[in-house]
A = this chain, B = another copy of it.
Amino acid sequence: MHIAVLGATGVVGQEILSVLEQRDFPVTTLLPLASARSAGKTVTFRGKEIEVTPAGPDSFTGVDVVLASAGASVSRELAPAIKKSGAILVDNSSAFRMHADVPLVVPEVNPDSLKRHTGVIANPNCVAIILTVAVAPIHRAAGIRRIVVSTYQSASGAGLAAMQELQAQAKDVLDGRAVTPKALPHQIAFNVFSHNAAIGPDGYNGEESKVMAETRKILSDQELAITATCVRVPVLRAHSESINLSLERPLTPERARALLAEAPGVEIVDERDSNRFPMPTIASGRDSVYVGRIRRDLSQPEGYGLDLFVCGDQLRKGAALNAVQIAEALVGVAAR
């Protein structure tokens, strides 16, 4: 396969290259594309240095699949040229996610939706991916009526500059130096803050609105009630989520645990005796969505409420891995 990675020098682009290598994706040629700012840079793939090409409408001749992670405006700008070239666009940006003719795919959750693509497949928001991998098995078994989710989101969601800012700021704070936020609007070291996406007229920020709309689309359930509160925490690359579920039909925590133990992409970490549950130090650099704190919600009638705590690597399952899994499904590579 002739694969282009658009945004190859970014933190997600770099992770896509790692995932393609690690999963032995059948790459014949790899074309790393980036903005003019990255001209002259190289990326490493399978031990070889490859020069980055500035992305433009003429970049896609002969390409089979474009894995794009260069932001919504770049995706919007280049999508017509990609389509014209005959390549399939797997887009990590929010540009096309809610378009009716664009499947929004988490391969463990809604693989069948992929069949309906017309050249563009959207990779969902990282919080929505991690959330739906964890709750889809419960939704199928018991019908989720309502979700209340609060997030603990890592700096990686805001890119490499935010990750570096977290580390540099932590050092500044420890050394007693004043902190000047740049990549993020507030101090991130030793602090937490409401996600910095712009607030809409309904009072939700853009990240929360994405999580809510995309979760409904991925689960194919427009009736699903959901409210999200998205918060950044001083963690490098794994997102955690505190999830509260209201169910249509009764389900015991034991049955939920059994369903999740069988679920693709899920690993249970629920060690009550040793107080060990999903956390970023477990999830970082790993592929699974870790699920724990599986318990009856005592604020709802028995059987109709569950609490979970979930953690997944934002750069892998939340972005690069999910995109590569979509590409694998497209080209018929056996699922791993």
Contact = CB atoms under 8 A, between A and B. Distances in A.
Contacts of A280: 190-192
A299 B144 CA distance: 12
Interface stretch (A22-30, A52-60, A106-114, A233-241): A233-241
A307 B192 CA distance: 17
Interface of A: 146-148, 150, 152, 166-167, 170-171, 174, 185-187, 189-194, 196, 198-199, 202-205, 212, 225-227, 229, 231, 233-236, 240, 242, 244, 253, 272-273, 275-281, 292-300, 305, 307, 309
Nearest to A185: B275
Report the copy number of this chain in the oligomer.
2
Nearest to A273: B199
Given A229-B309, A253-B203, A240 B192 contact: yes
Q: Which has the most chain B C-beta neighbours within 10 Å: A147, A186, A242?
A: A242
A32 to B, nearest CB: 29
Contact of A174 (B152, B170, B205, B235): B170
A147 B299 CA distance: 8
A286 B215 CA distance: 38
B202 A298 contact: yes
A135 to B, nearest CB: 14
A147 B305 CA distance: 13
A227 B306 CA distance: 10
Contacts of A170: 170, 174, 189-190
B292 A227 contact: no
In the A-B complex, the 6 residue pairs with the closest CB atoms? A203-B295, A150-B242, A225-B299, A150-B150, A227-B299, A199-B272
Given A174-B170, A190-B236, A235-B191, A205 B275 contact: yes
